[in-house]
Structure 1
């Protein structure tokens, strides 16, 4: 076996405490030291992938270059680490069992009884070893460290096989190549305000009982934790005090790697995993401190309405909201996203719930820009169509993605071409004007993995000329973006739509499928069939999202006139004399989360569970 290093990140007490961001932060810190990093997310559910989930189950489905439909935590990894992951970087129980059963059917086990131990646990270990070796950056270098996040909570019956696999794996990899970080919640009841360590003690005890001893205990809490609590956790959980890392709720997730780095993680990992880091300048986290400092000091706000179908759970649109933040932060604005339930914009709601109807339209009207993201099914589609029409007729900056692209076509066909009853066959199979139709090769009768998925090339037409969207993409002839859809614009209506002013400026490589549309004589009315949010990065925002934010603040024209460059006011967000890591950390108010500062709580240090 190679000298690959592994960091296993587990969770205790409850799920959803931020393991994904903490795992990403480990990678960010190591990558800043020049270490090549990859990540694996383990989801213990039996589904083969996340593709068939309702967004209310696990939030959005994140799509990778190779078409893998995966957990949204892989989006965190890609954004933080600026790497390109693959479908095999997401392991599910379903994938493991299917692989083992397929091998059994082929006779690979020579008639033996196939069992969880050793066959399933061996399959898990072999999968992790194999995927850890896959390059994830343009350098095509084999990663040096693999960060593995085990989803769920220690003690769940679903994850038992994975925990056992890693109990064995620690000896297979050898101690100097394997360490464990356990993320646990420290609840702070409002009645007393005192942090309770007992849940963490129980969680660590259970983890140790299963054969894994944590090297780090990462304590998540609402407020900062005092030193005495840290020492108590150290005492009862068999780790040194400097191996207890306390992460309270922060104003920005980009502060997490900075705070973790300030705990001396680099020094500990360098020694524990024998990483061979000779020296590291204090500035190696500077880009993150600059970003967090900038976000903390944004003085202006831009208000964007998101007209969606799954707005009860904001995680359903994680990548969209992150992409909006990346674009807004780049030009010095804080984005305020107004989540509007699409069905509340429909006339039927006026009769059943007039308050919700008028509130939704009020929110839409007071926004500075509107985004209509993707989705599936009939519910709420008329609301998305209504929002598209309102933006077109009132000169409101508009950006449609996937279904939002399709609803803008339907709306234009109905209200400009006067094609009564125009619709998508997804919602109305008998529509007299099927302007949106399904793609035959992607209509197999199965639900999972049958769409047009992954990174594909979009070609700008020669007639695209001076369109805003092409200029935002730096006047490139071709771009690559990720897709996830099984419906497309009906070719029979394209000429008619374009003649009326709805320009399809981007198409696929065969010029058969419409990919990008832009409306003439409008401040910003752009829609795309692909999902540009998946490739947006904190330091490199997605061009169409930039266009929406700029148009919403009425500065798109000047931005394009400067060749898509920011003005000095927009790009200079701190004094050049304070261009030091230590200065920015000071402004990040890291001192507020110094667990040794007992003034964070009452003078009493007698913490009782």
Structure 2
């Protein structure tokens, strides 16, 4: 087993995750089996209770693990399936060690950071690195480990010490350290500064780790003089100083690393059995990146959400939209709309903001309402859904977005809910309570539109949702989404929710053209909705964005983009196939010839 540790210096958020993913990708393109581990030094057990404003989205894995969004990058770049144990936190390590101490595993010894915590870290890495993440079940040959935070953080010290020891245990030929550092370029002088990188490398060396590759994040390509200066002061060869300048797309980063000989160096450094030949996977990425830069046609999607001021809150959603837009050869424009700005209260308090938000919504080609929690802004999401339904605009609702679509339909079409002793307005308000007390808000309401799931534990917040990969069975042969999935009878997608549509009300909606075309295996939970007489009005209880890939876009998002570009009906009529011109050209054209058909694989 070969281990590649990726550390970062100067500032956080420097791009370690993308660089780690890119290194893994170029190694996988060489025929190696690659896995990845993300280490987060925070004391939380997992990312499940994080605020999206602070840490971005919570990425959900097949096994229900709620993890850092960087694991989403690993899965998208490497096309692998990770587990919750691929995300190691300080909380998990301390919990494991304390549990061992309580069981008496340490035989009365004084439990300390060194050696007990550091040993536990090393044991976790060695064990997890051997677990297959590919469909073929083959044990990985290379493990890429990203250490979150920056060198010098007090939270990271046990992990730095653990890897200082680890490099000697596994021997030099099996361990490599890549250090990612910032090379700032102040606008006042326009000169690239190396001092932050020098200090960062010096501190890393002082802690016992020496970088084999220094990857310099910079706004513009690294000048030769700057590269030589870093080489001299950081005690590495110039070829070991890699420039990672800002690029038009993150999908160009693997190509950037490959061009600078990273594969050759890692091959020599770790004695890897790599043949230096043209690699099919990287060729596909180059074609994809080139097309992305040359697209001429545009498509716009209004993303109506609660956390729109911080794009990382919807990282996977944005990537899924990008994958689908690229598949139909359109340049994507995302119009971020804070759902609270669409509400009548905003019209009274900040009319300019209100009208600007509605202008964005009305000018979009399609509408997306993603998942979320909490009452704030939900009225605005209802307004956006209502507008999309009435104006026949393509719409996709994910998780909360689907549940709100159900409420909007009941509320605005005055669905007669038999045997219910409440008005629709109350039904809507009840749904807003998405926290642990929601079932206690009005206990006499026996049949709300959306209900708290029976297995939800209201006394605990973390890890109490319906999480992970679940099977959804399509109940209709004519479902648009089923066709987009390749006429599959069922799909396995990832979930993250506490609430569900009340199954007792199913027939009240379906007799009015609002169909629940997908349900769980038991037929009790409503998973997919579709509306008659609409170009594309789809809602899914699951989160399809978590399984979207750059060259395998998620079908629900792909359908939204096709409908927004006016291509959905043509695509369905062709048997869910795209012509070569649609799939590989530099621009999309609805009048493209159909003489030759190429199927888009999901």
Relative to structure 1, the CA distance from residue 358 to residue 426 in structure 2 (aligned partners, 3 Å threshold; closer, same or farther) is closer
Give me the whole-angstrom Cα distance separating, in 2, the residues matched to 1:468 and 1:245.
47
**Residue 32 of structure 1 is aligned with which of 29, 33, 44?**
29
The yes-or-no answer on 1:195 pairing with 2:192 is: yes
C-alpha distance after superposition, 1:233-277 (max 9, x if no partner): 000001100000011110000100001001111111111101122
Could you say which residue in structure 2 is the equivalent of 1:7? 4
C-alpha distance after superposition, 1:5-57 (max 9, x if no partner): 00000000000010000000100000000000000000000000000000011
Could you say which residue in structure 1 is the equivalent of 2:513? 501
Structure 1 residue 282, shift from structure 2 partner: 5.8
Could you say which residue in structure 2 is the equivalent of 1:169? 166
Could you say which residue in structure 2 is the equivalent of 1:586? none
Relative to structure 1, the CA distance from residue 136 to residue 268 in structure 2 (aligned partners, 3 Å threshold; closer, same or farther) is same
Give me the whole-angstrom Cα distance separating, in 2, the residues matched to 1:114 and 1:498.
61
Give me the whole-angstrom Cα distance separating, in 1, the residues matched to 2:562 and 2:113.
55
Give me the whole-angstrom Cα distance separating, in 2, the residues matched to 1:280 and 1:31.
13
C-alpha distance after superposition, 1:38-95 (max 9, x if no partner): 0000000000000000001110000000000000000000000000000000000000
Could you say which residue in structure 2 is the equivalent of 1:146? 143
The yes-or-no answer on 1:82 pairing with 2:79 is: yes
**Residue 538 of structure 1 is aligned with which of 540, 550, 555?**
550
Give me the whole-angstrom Cα distance separating, in 2, the residues matched to 1:417 and 1:434.
15
Structure 1 residue 203, shift from structure 2 partner: 0.2
The yes-or-no answer on 1:479 pairing with 2:491 is: yes
The aligned length equals 570
Give me the whole-angstrom Cα distance separating, in 2, the residues matched to 1:409 and 1:562.
31
- Contact between 1:38 and 1:146, CA under 8 Å: does it hold in 2? yes
**Residue 410 of structure 1 is aligned with which of 407, 411, 430?**
407
- Contact between 1:21 and 1:76, CA under 8 Å: does it hold in 2? yes
Could you say which residue in structure 2 is the equivalent of 1:436? 450
The yes-or-no answer on 1:561 pairing with 2:566 is: no
Give me the whole-angstrom Cα distance separating, in 2, the residues matched to 1:341 and 1:571.
33
Structure 1 residue 416, shift from structure 2 partner: 1.0
- Contact between 1:417 and 1:500, CA under 8 Å: does it hold in 2? no
The yes-or-no answer on 1:421 pairing with 2:426 is: yes
- Contact between 2:378 and 2:432, CA under 8 Å: does it hold in 1? no
C-alpha distance after superposition, 1:561-585 (max 9, x if no partner): 111111232123269xxxxxxxxxx
**Residue 183 of structure 1 is aligned with which of 180, 193, 215?**
180
Structure 1 residue 554, shift from structure 2 partner: 1.1
SS at structure 2 position matched to 1:459: strand
Q: How does 1:278-297 map to 2 (within 5 A)?
A: 278-281=275-278, 285-297=282-294
Q: Which runs of 5+ in 2 are unaligned?
A: 416-423, 588-602
Structure 1 residue 426, shift from structure 2 partner: 4.8
SS at structure 1 position matched to 2:101: helix
SS at structure 1 position matched to 2:425: coil
- Contact between 1:75 and 1:319, CA under 8 Å: does it hold in 2? yes
- Contact between 1:300 and 1:334, CA under 8 Å: does it hold in 2? yes
- Contact between 2:528 and 2:541, CA under 8 Å: does it hold in 1? yes
Structure 1 residue 410, shift from structure 2 partner: 0.6
The yes-or-no answer on 1:356 pairing with 2:368 is: no
Structure 1 residue 508, shift from structure 2 partner: 0.1
- Contact between 2:29 and 2:279, CA under 8 Å: does it hold in 1? no
Give me the whole-angstrom Cα distance separating, in 1, the residues matched to 2:240 and 2:27.
17
Give me the whole-angstrom Cα distance separating, in 1, the residues matched to 2:448 and 2:318.
31
Give me the whole-angstrom Cα distance separating, in 2, the residues matched to 1:134 and 1:280.
28
Q: Which runs of 5+ in 1 are unaligned?
A: 576-609
- Contact between 2:296 and 2:586, CA under 8 Å: does it hold in 1? no
Structure 1 residue 391, shift from structure 2 partner: 0.6
Structure 1 residue 425, shift from structure 2 partner: 4.0
- Contact between 1:417 and 1:497, CA under 8 Å: does it hold in 2? no
Q: How does 1:42-441 map to 2 (within 5 A)?
A: 42-281=39-278, 285-418=282-415, 419-423=424-428, 424-427=430-433, 429-430=441-442, 434-441=448-455
Give me the whole-angstrom Cα distance separating, in 2, the residues matched to 1:36 and 1:135.
9
- Contact between 2:329 and 2:586, CA under 8 Å: does it hold in 1? no
The yes-or-no answer on 1:466 pairing with 2:478 is: yes
- Contact between 2:295 and 2:586, CA under 8 Å: does it hold in 1? no
SS at structure 2 position matched to 1:246: strand
Could you say which residue in structure 2 is the equivalent of 1:516? 528
Could you say which residue in structure 1 is the equivalent of 2:595? none
C-alpha distance after superposition, 1:345-398 (max 9, x if no partner): 111111111111111111000000000000001011111111111111110100
What TM-score, normalized by structure 1, do the two folds share?
0.92
Deviation beyond 3 Å, 4+ runs, structure 1: 430-433
Structure 1 residue 283, shift from structure 2 partner: 5.3
Worse-matched range after superposition: 215-224 or 565-574: 565-574
Give me the whole-angstrom Cα distance separating, in 2, the residues matched to 1:321 and 1:242.
35
SS at structure 1 position matched to 2:307: coil
SS at structure 2 position matched to 1:456: strand
- Contact between 2:516 and 2:529, CA under 8 Å: does it hold in 1? yes
Could you say which residue in structure 1 is the equivalent of 2:504? 492
C-alpha distance after superposition, 1:312-343 (max 9, x if no partner): 10000000000000000011011100100011
Could you say which residue in structure 2 is the equivalent of 1:455? 469
Relative to structure 1, the CA distance from residue 509 to residue 395 in structure 2 (aligned partners, 3 Å threshold; closer, same or farther) is same
- Contact between 1:414 and 1:421, CA under 8 Å: does it hold in 2? no
Structure 1 residue 153, shift from structure 2 partner: 0.2
